[in-house]
Chains A and B, each alone.
Chain A
Amino acid sequence: MQSAAQISQADLRELVTFKVGEQDYCIDIMSVREIRGWTPATVLPYAPSYVLGVINLRGTIVPIVDLSARLNLGRSEPDSRHVVVITAINNQMVGLLVNSVSDIMSVNRSAVQPVPEAASEATGAHIEGVIAIDDRMLRVIDLQVVIPSIGEREIG
């Protein structure tokens, strides 16, 4: 017999929330590998403007995406107060540059609402849904879209 607690456990989603510019965003905690401070990256030639470069994560080369630029919120000027969220999906590791990490929270799956029409196309495409909590709105980032997929870079 399944307990009620187990069922609700399966319905819960744990999210890491962070700030990009003045806005609140979040991603699923399962795709987060670690969170570290910003260190200057090695610039990659011919990279899209939102790719800041690559950093050395204990021997692995990890590209860093400026989330603010990626979401069309303007390029950030990274300094030591910025934070890099290292994510991994489909065996690909990518760091996301954000202003700060706020919290880890559990929300019910049903709390995630579809993206409202008001969102601009560039931003809306990168968001899988929104969550309204208290008086804040959390935007759930669609990592599959945000992270430049391997091979997409061929064009100079």
Chain B
Amino acid sequence: MTKIDDIRDTFFQECDDLLEALNDGLGQLGDSADDAAFDDQTVNAVFRAVHSIKGGAAAFALDSLVKFSHHFESVLDLMRSGKVQPSIDLLKICQKAADHLTDLVASARSGNDQTGLYDQDLAAKLLAFGNPDSGEVAAPEQDFGFVPMIIPISLDFDTPTDTSTFIIKFTATYQLFANGNDPVHLFRELADLGEYSVTADTSELPDFDDLKWDDIHIKWEIRLTTARHLSDISDVFEFVDGLCALSILRLEDELATETPPQLPDIVQQKTALIAPAAQTPTDEDQKLQRGTTEKISASPKASVRVDLDLVDKLINIVGELVINQAVLTQCIDDAGLPESSQTRASLNEFKTLARDIQENMMAIRAQSVKPLFQRMARIAREASDIAGKSVRFETLGETTEVDRTVIERLVDPLTHIIRNSVDHGVEDPARRRDAGKTETGCITLSAAHRSGRVLIEVSDDGAGINRPKVLEIAVSKGLISADAVLSDSEIDQLLFLPGFSTAKVVTNLSGRGVGMDVVRSAIQKLGGRVNISSQPGKGTTIAFSLPLTLAVLDGMVVNVAGQTMVVPITAIIETLRPKAEDIHLIGAEGYVVSIRNKLIPIIDLGQVFGHRNQVGRLSDMVLLLVESDRKQPWALAVDGIYDQRQVVIKSLENNYGHVPGVAAATILGDGKIALIIDPEEATERYRPQGQMRQLQGLEEV
């Protein structure tokens, strides 16, 4: 990879962060839009995010990106200066602009031409906001990038009626020049503001022989007489913020009062950073030092960017360590060392350490769900626009951390669910009003850790599931028999059947009837479960319960016709040893077991995996009750249970391919491989198609 590609990569990585900050900021603004106390800091943060993207994009000649972010930035700048009041409408456009910016960044990243993507309408809208009056505000378009923009701003507070004289003391640092800035440009900007004179303080200039070429020796004092406000002047120095020692003082203030001038927030942020060591602060200097509050921004926790491959590799190695530890344990067991021996004590310590390392490794790969939630917020916005409904989208627990791979694979299912919630869940405004609800619907997306798993919930305050209709459709589509008696939750489960769709019209959003069963299988592939609950008139909640990681899993090690296999514990509801009289035969091969007056079909795993042709002696076997996707429990018959332990998941797909009924493989303490069963697929394989109807009938027994 060439160096420029490296830098480009870094830019796009930063863009991710900046877009996150942008969305964050806009979200906050949206929340506080009605408040009189409008948060300047947030607007500034938003502005800076867009500005940084623009700057970076200019460096890589990503023209559409630069152009769009420029329009966007102009609007934000007006907002920042208080010239444009942030209204709900404006914020909506800003949201859209942020979404569009995300798209542009994404397409630039993949190296596509963005000119086709560039949204003229949106840019025009932004422009309309950006130029409320004459159009004097927008800087000429060629001026992208690093040139500071001068925007005449009239501020409500403390508007100087007459011209006043400012004394500006400016000392550049080495870094300022290193970054390619030049004070002369700044001074020219100042000269544009009014009557101005500059004197260079060369008193610290050493003799020519002692002169170090890259040291800073000159200080400048500028006397500026202007009608402009102080903030206009400090804006000139915005892009060298932190790279110079700067003080700005209005002459009258100094004469009139002894206290430092009252400055608007925006100015207070710009703080003189490094005072050159040679400069001994005099009384006057201190007085001049504007903004006595040295703002130390809450610096984010130090972090490093690490190549994901490296993390994945480390996780694999840690997996090896866990396996190795299991091997060691077995060796020591086999050696028959006494419980109290030194070796065993050390082994126990080793176990603890291995587990610690593993947990911390997992924490490294864990990411907060925030970017995912922001993406979903966008989906909700777009969906509600298309559906013509007014929807408020709320998120809870967005700092919850989940394994990266889990997050990636949550995008599609969540998108489906949120679109469904907007389309089917939330009613249109008129119906909501009739039902005595607010016209704006509310969809809440929440994440939380619950007993070693992650719980993600999407709930809406809509009409809830229309159960009679669901039942009617299920019957008409032949998914259940007409006389089936189902409980409410069983009806809700019907939504997950393949080919089920209640929408009368297939809309842009949903209604193709592929959604929910795809959601379900996607979540189950992640080792998760989906739950749906609904209250008529009050809303629907769909909950995912997911494992924290895809690298390890708690499994039950079982014996299947002499083969050691692992069943994920999350799938198992209970285990039991059946009594001979509880096992009944239906037809030639169909065994069922009666558990608490419910008849549950039995599947012999040994038969499923072809280890034996005949069903084994069920009364000698152990049954594992598992939940299947139809909420119909199945009993998996195994020859015995060995153990219950954490196992490292190893892919079979890399070197071989998918094996039906098998999710993955793992390595046991003796170094042997055991296959991890996918109970869903195992029962699926065994079960003849269209047996649902027959099974529904069984429940009534």
Binding site for B on A (CB under 8 A): 41-47, 51, 54-56, 58-63, 91-94, 148, 150-154, 156
Establish whether residues A156 and B660, one from each chain, have CB atoms under 8 Å apart when the complex forms.
Answer: yes
Task: Using A43-B563, A59-B667 as known contacts, say yes or no to A156 and B320 having CB atoms under 8 A apart.
Answer: no
Establish whether residues A92 and B654, one from each chain, have CB atoms under 8 Å apart when the complex forms.
Answer: yes
Supply 20 A–B pairs (Cβ within 8 Å), ascending by A: A41-B673, A43-B563, A43-B611, A44-B659, A44-B662, A45-B661, A46-B660, A56-B667, A56-B672, A58-B320, A59-B316, A60-B655, A61-B654, A63-B656, A150-B655, A150-B656, A150-B657, A153-B656, A153-B659, A154-B658
Q: Does B276 contact A (CB under 8 A)?
A: no
Establish whether residues A151 and B609, one from each chain, have CB atoms under 8 Å apart when the complex forms.
Answer: no
Closest A residue to B657 by CB, please name it.
A153
Q: Does B558 contact A (CB under 8 A)?
A: no
Closest B residue to A91 by CB, please name it.
B654
Return A102 CB to nearest CB of chain B, in Å: 26
Q: Does B319 contact A (CB under 8 A)?
A: yes
Interface string of B452-488 (1 = CB under 8 A from A): 0000000000000000000000000000000000000
Return B5 CB to nearest CB of chain A, in Å: 24
Establish whether residues A148 and B657, one from each chain, have CB atoms under 8 Å apart when the complex forms.
Answer: yes
CA distance A44 to B659 in the complex (A): 8
Using Cβ atoms and an 8 Å threshold, which residues of chain B touch A92? 654-655
Give the number of residues in B that approach A within 8 Å (Cβ atoms). Answer: 31
Q: Does B433 contact A (CB under 8 A)?
A: no
Return A50 CB to nearest CB of chain B, in Å: 13
Using Cβ atoms and an 8 Å threshold, which residues of chain A touch B671? 56
Closest B residue to A150 by CB, please name it.
B657
Using Cβ atoms and an 8 Å threshold, which residues of chain A touch B658? 151, 153-154
Closest A residue to B667 by CB, please name it.
A56
Using Cβ atoms and an 8 Å threshold, which residues of chain B touch A42? 563-564, 665, 672-675
Using Cβ atoms and an 8 Å threshold, which residues of chain B touch A156? 660, 685
Interface string of B639-676 (1 = CB under 8 A from A): 00000000000111111111111100101000111110
Return B665 CB to nearest CB of chain A, in Å: 5
Could you say which of B316, B651, B654, B656 contacts A44, with CB atoms under 8 Å apart? Answer: B656
Return A118 CB to nearest CB of chain B, in Å: 33
Establish whether residues B675 and A44, one from each chain, have CB atoms under 8 Å apart when the complex forms.
Answer: yes
CA distance A39 to B103 in the complex (A): 53
Q: Does B610 contact A (CB under 8 A)?
A: yes
Which residues of B205-237 have CB atoms within 8 Å of chain A's CB atoms? none
Q: Counting chain A CB atoms within 10 Å of each CB, which of B319, B608, B650 scores highest?
A: B650
Establish whether residues A45 and B660, one from each chain, have CB atoms under 8 Å apart when the complex forms.
Answer: yes
Q: Counting chain A CB atoms within 10 Å of each CB, which of B653, B656, B658 scores highest?
A: B656
CA distance A94 to B657 in the complex (A): 12
